[in-house]
Amino acid sequence: MPIDKRVASAAEALEGVSDGAVVLCSGFGGAGFANVLIAALCERGTRNLTLVSNSATHRFSFTHQLIEAGLVRRVICSAARGHAAGLSPLEELWKDGKIELTVLPQGSFAESLRAGGAGIPAYYTPAGVGTQLAEGKEIRRFGTRDYLLEEAIIGDLALIRADVADRWGNLSFRHAQANFGPAMATAARLAIAEVRITQDHPIPPTEVQLSGVFVNRVLAVGG
Amino acid sequence: MPIDKRVASAAEALEGVSDGAVVLCSGFGGAGFANVLIAALCERGTRNLTLVSNSATHRFSFTHQLIEAGLVRRVICSAARGHAAGLSPLEELWKDGKIELTVLPQGSFAESLRAGGAGIPAYYTPAGVGTQLAEGKEIRRFGTRDYLLEEAIIGDLALIRADVADRWGNLSFRHAQANFGPAMATAARLAIAEVRITQDHPIPPTEVQLSGVFVNRVLAVGG
Amino acid sequence: MHPLNRLQMAWRAAQDIEDGMVVNLGIGMPVACGDYIRPGLEVVIQAENGVIGAGKLADQAHADSDLVDAGSRRITLAPGATIIDSTASFAMIRGGHIDATILGAFEVAANGDLANWDMRIPNKGPLVGGAMDLAACARQVWIIMEFNTRKGAPRLREACLLPLTAPGCVRRIFTDLAVVHVTAQGFLVTELLPGLSPEDLQARADAKLHFAPDCRPLTTPALALPE
Amino acid sequence: MHPLNRLQMAWRAAQDIEDGMVVNLGIGMPVACGDYIRPGLEVVIQAENGVIGAGKLADQAHADSDLVDAGSRRITLAPGATIIDSTASFAMIRGGHIDATILGAFEVAANGDLANWDMRIPNKGPLVGGAMDLAACARQVWIIMEFNTRKGAPRLREACLLPLTAPGCVRRIFTDLAVVHVTAQGFLVTELLPGLSPEDLQARADAKLHFAPDCRPLTTPALALPE
């Protein structure tokens, strides 16, 4: 049968996603948020999620809807601060002990996802050494410098945004849309991309930015 | 001054390379060997080299010339076997204790180069656990599985082959020409690419496969 | 008794490839599997040098020394293909994104240990290549090899004599005499060459062979080796 | 005494950027440095989200929400630019391929310790972003910040009071009152605002300030802040 990873609806895309899932959501600075899929996940009401998103309450991302709907029990991110002067819903829930929060340097956040997808359980990095974020983590010297052991992040589900997908699940991205998407797709058991358009014919080999081997389902959402 | 990484000759490309250098040479299966630069390094007579090359005596690569000329004291590779039934010059030198040999699984060879370029001093991998190549290396359990600690490889010099370079040192590759080239360029203090053509105008942003940030000099060699 | 030739062994292994699988094929017999995938299936063939979606061999007119597979063979791209660098290719392999790798081997042990990288020929340099990454990390490891060495020594053993590639990784073995699965109980023969008795096969192995209750005859089409 | 305004501080920092450098500019004052790079220089501006070769801000007609920098500003690409993903971007940062990063800060210590990520506002969530990677791994870390807080507290200190971003990383500090280098001996003032005495400046710091023998007046063009 021809490989065909296209699905007809966001509901179909999310089929099989269970309570307690670790959900990886891409996006940075307004680019690359899979907001159609995130909204559908919210509507689905899947609970007890671990949300892995660089900026957990970015104003352009619907991840804050998941948080406000009480579906998230843990957040892994590099930025957990709301944009307003007051506390964001995430900060309120965190203050009240209702949400667990893990903050990583952004480079370690990205690298731990890449490690998760690349079969590397842990790696050493200089980022965070000598800071509060090193607390409880192993420090080890290589050569003349100290490094921190960081472990891989693996997700049950990745929700990423791309520009074009072909039936093989190959993806191309517009401009800075890729950001955490490729690493998240490789690190998730089920990787779903929402895209502007899907096509029957292949994306030319040199224009593919993420191989369909890493992508399980693609949904055309326009826009 | 406009950034311009183009050099006029292989001799100019290799300016400043010293005896004892760790030299990273790309190439796999006939694609991506920087043979013009390797021949020039051989002619230069730079001695006491550590040669880091996936297949150290590949018949399409001039790395064997470096070995035969007695310029190499150590080889790091994943394949050290000659193609002929008899012993290759590398094997003869190794047998006689005149060349030091380190063999890594190809995935660890690639990942250690990537780590070298990415500021990661060491990482854990499942490849090689339970084999002779794990001897003397740290084994550590994460979850339910044992992993091997592998350290980064950093080079003084990378000699890689690409298709097109622009004046910024941005590179594009033909087909499977990239192989170890991008990782090697990132892992070397001085990264030199030989290319089919160089151009004054930029390679379009989406066609750049290795950013010029990682490339110090480019040499047009045609072919 | 007509033992399978090398192409027939590749054909038999290829019959087990399922629709939609991502498959890595080793140098030698395994790459021939690409020619025998069941009609109507679409499979992604990964080559360790970064070709994701390797196609048929290139004909003379289209052969390109920059478009090669792990065995340096000049190939074409299948529809939907892309090419990544070696680091990304092994990230894909190590990360468990390969459904099955089909490799050659010298020996396989009853616990699934694989020895396929070093024959211990005096003074020959080591050649490990991508075998350890593939064996340790692909979701399934399948082996194509003759049941015995040219000198008649068993390749299916209680324990490997040659240096290991990876411990406990092999799931299926396609040989010239039988198809053997590696199970928690050890070797399980699921197909046996017509004309060969279970006792005959056992005599050629260095480990206990179990025979599946529904053990079938191992049959393949006639496939002539190239001259 | 006319302390530098934010644009003038960015201008002064930008004058230290050398030809051909790869520079990462932090959110806030640092990104303004991009507008003041000395004429005739070509510099590569790296944004942590993967834009390698960030250009000017996009005008209304060309603004694209997919083409943004680390501060979510809609930008253009400079000639020779490319875009990589976040993992590759931080591999570039962590690997020491950034010649200089220019960041904002709350405090810098005499040993180069940097505190720029957590102001300890009660219950506000942590916001570390890419600062720790940049501070720990760029070849040079330059800081733009006011010499004192709005309440007049010193930002140049014997030891940081706020949580560290990275220890011992800062090399140069561009403030509204002075340019200060961090040396093995501690803070070294290389430029001082006209009308301000060394004693005045010392009184505003919490650490010993050394003054370079060739300490020059800190002067900049008039640059009006936008309304």
Least Cα distance to D179 among D222, D221, D219 occurs for: D219
Least Cα distance to A148 among B121, C107, D199, C62 occurs for: B121
Measure the CA dihedral B52/B57/B58/B62, to 10°: 80
Of C72, C127, C132, the CB nearest to B80: C127
Closest approach of chain B CAs to the CA of D145, in angstroms? 28
What 3 state SS string does B6-60 have?
ECCCHHHHCCCCCCCCEEEECCECCECCCHHHHHHHHHHCCCCEEEECCECCCCC
In sequence order, the β-bridge partners of residue C187 are: C182, C209
- How crowded is the C-beta side of D48, counted as CA atoms within 13 Å? 34
Pairing verdict, β C156-157 and C107-109: parallel
Least Cα distance to B127 among C25, C22, C48 occurs for: C48
* Record: contact A106-D71, CB cut-off 8 A: no
In sequence order, the β-bridge partners of residue A7 are: A219
Is there a contact between D159 and D108 (Cβ–Cβ < 8 Å)? no
- The pLDDT, as a whole number, for residue A172 is 98
Residue B104's contacts (CB-CB under 8 Å, 6 or more residues apart) are: B76, B77, B78, B112, B128, B133, B150, C128
Q: Does A63 touch chain D (CB under 8 A)?
A: no
Q: Does C96 touch chain A (CB under 8 A)?
A: yes
pLDDT band (50, 70, 90) for residue D114: very high
* Record: contact A79-D87, CB cut-off 8 A: no
* For residues D177-188, average pLDDT: 98
pLDDT band (50, 70, 90) for residue D119: confident
Chains A and C touch (3+ CB pairs under 8 A): yes
Q: Encode pLDDT of C59-92 as tens digits.
A: 999 999 999 999 899 999 999 999 999 999 999 9
Q: Which helix (H) or strand (E) holds A170?
A: none
- Give C90's contacts in chain B (Cβ within 8 Å): 106-107, 110-111
- The pLDDT, as a whole number, for residue C123 is 86
Residue A156 pLDDT > 90:
yes
Residue C203's contacts (CB-CB under 8 Å, 6 or more residues apart) are: none
Q: Does B111 touch chain A (CB under 8 A)?
A: yes
3-state secondary structure of B157: strand
- The pLDDT, as a whole number, for residue B56 is 87
- The pLDDT, as a whole number, for residue D120 is 87
- The pLDDT, as a whole number, for residue A82 is 78
| Percent of chain D scoring above 90 in pLDDT | 93
Catalytic site residue D18?
Answer: no
* Record: contact A129-D72, CB cut-off 8 A: no
Of A117, A118, A202, the CB nearest to C80: A202
Residue A96's contacts (CB-CB under 8 Å, 6 or more residues apart) are: none
Residue D227 pLDDT > 90:
no
Is there a contact between A145 and A127 (Cβ–Cβ < 8 Å)? no
Is there a contact between C14 and B144 (Cβ–Cβ < 8 Å)? no
CB within 8 Å of chain C, chain B residues 6-45: 28-32
Q: Encode pLDDT of D37-70 as tens digits.
A: 999 999 999 999 999 999 999 999 999 999 999 9
Residue C150's contacts (CB-CB under 8 Å, 6 or more residues apart) are: none
Measure the CA dihedral D14/D17/D19/D24, to 10°: -100
- Provide ipTM, 2 decimals: 0.97
Q: Encode pLDDT of C103-156 as tens digits.
A: 999 999 999 999 999 888 888 999 999 999 999 999 999 999 999 999 999 999
* Record: contact B213-D97, CB cut-off 8 A: yes
3-state secondary structure of B212: helix
CA dihedral (C187, C190, C193, C194) positive or negative: positive
Is there a contact between D211 and D179 (Cβ–Cβ < 8 Å)? no
- Measured CA to CA, the distance from residue A94 to residue A82 in angstroms comes to 12
3-state secondary structure of B196: strand
- The pLDDT, as a whole number, for residue C120 is 87
Q: Taking all residues of chain C, what is their mean pLDDT, rounded to a whole number?
A: 96
Q: Does D159 touch chain A (CB under 8 A)?
A: no
* For residues A142-156, average pLDDT: 98
Residue A57 pLDDT > 90:
no
Closest approach of chain D CAs to the CA of B39, in angstroms? 28
Report field, pTM of the whole predicted structure over 0.95: yes
Q: Which helix (H) or strand (E) holds A60?
A: none
> To 5 degrees, how large is the angle CA B143–CA B147–CA B153?
135
- Give A186's contacts in chain C (Cβ within 8 Å): 91-92, 95, 97
In Å, how far are A124, A143, B137, B157, D123 from B122, measured between CA atoms?
A: 6, 11, 12, 20, 36
Closest approach of chain A CAs to the CA of B175, in angstroms? 8
The residue to which tokens 């992993």 are assigned: B147
Residue B90's contacts (CB-CB under 8 Å, 6 or more residues apart) are: B56, B57, B64, B67, B75, B80, B82, B99, B101, C125
* Record: contact B125-A120, CB cut-off 8 A: yes
Nearest CA in chain B to A127: B119
Number of residue pairs across B and C with CB atoms under 8 Å? 154
- Measured CA to CA, the distance from residue D187 to residue D172 in angstroms comes to 9
**pLDDT tens-place values along chain B, 223 residues long:** 999 999 999 999 999 999 999 999 999 998 999 999 999 999 999 999 999 999 988 888 889 999 999 999 999 999 998 777 889 999 999 999 999 999 999 999 999 999 999 999 999 999 999 999 999 999 999 999 999 999 999 999 999 999 999 999 999 999 999 999 999 999 999 999 999 999 999 999 999 999 999 999 999 999 8
Residue C158 pLDDT > 90:
yes
Q: Encode pLDDT of A165-196 as tens digits.
A: 999 999 999 999 999 999 999 999 999 999 99
Measure the CA dihedral D72/D73/D79/D84, to 10°: 0
The residue to which tokens 């380190």 are assigned: B102
Residue B86's contacts (CB-CB under 8 Å, 6 or more residues apart) are: none
Label residues C42-71 b or e (16+ Cβ within 10 Å = b).
bbbbbbbbbbbbbbeebeeeeeebbbbbbb
- Measured CA to CA, the distance from residue A33 to residue A181 in angstroms comes to 9
* Record: contact C82-A119, CB cut-off 8 A: no
In sequence order, the β-bridge partners of residue B147 are: B140
How are strands ordered across the β-sheet holding C51-57?
C75-83, C51-57, C44-46, C22-25, C100-104, C141-144, C170-174, C178-183, C186-192, C209-217
- Measured CA to CA, the distance from residue A216 to residue A167 in angstroms comes to 10
- Measured CA to CA, the distance from residue B53 to residue A17 in angstroms comes to 44
- How crowded is the C-beta side of D131, counted as CA atoms within 13 Å? 31
Nearest CA in chain A to B173: A206
What 3 state SS string does A173-189 have?
CCHHHCCCHHHHHHHEE
Residue A154 pLDDT > 80:
yes
- The pLDDT, as a whole number, for residue C183 is 98
- Measured CA to CA, the distance from residue D180 to residue D189 in angstroms comes to 4
Q: Does B2 touch chain A (CB under 8 A)?
A: no
Report how many helices (DSSP H) and strands (DSSP E) chain B contains, helices first.
Answer: 6, 11
The residue to which tokens 């069941």 are assigned: C38
Nearest CA in chain A to D127: A79
DSSP D155: S
Q: The tokens of D142 are what?
A: 């330059």
- The pLDDT, as a whole number, for residue B31 is 95
φ/ψ of C148, rounded to 5, equals -130, 160
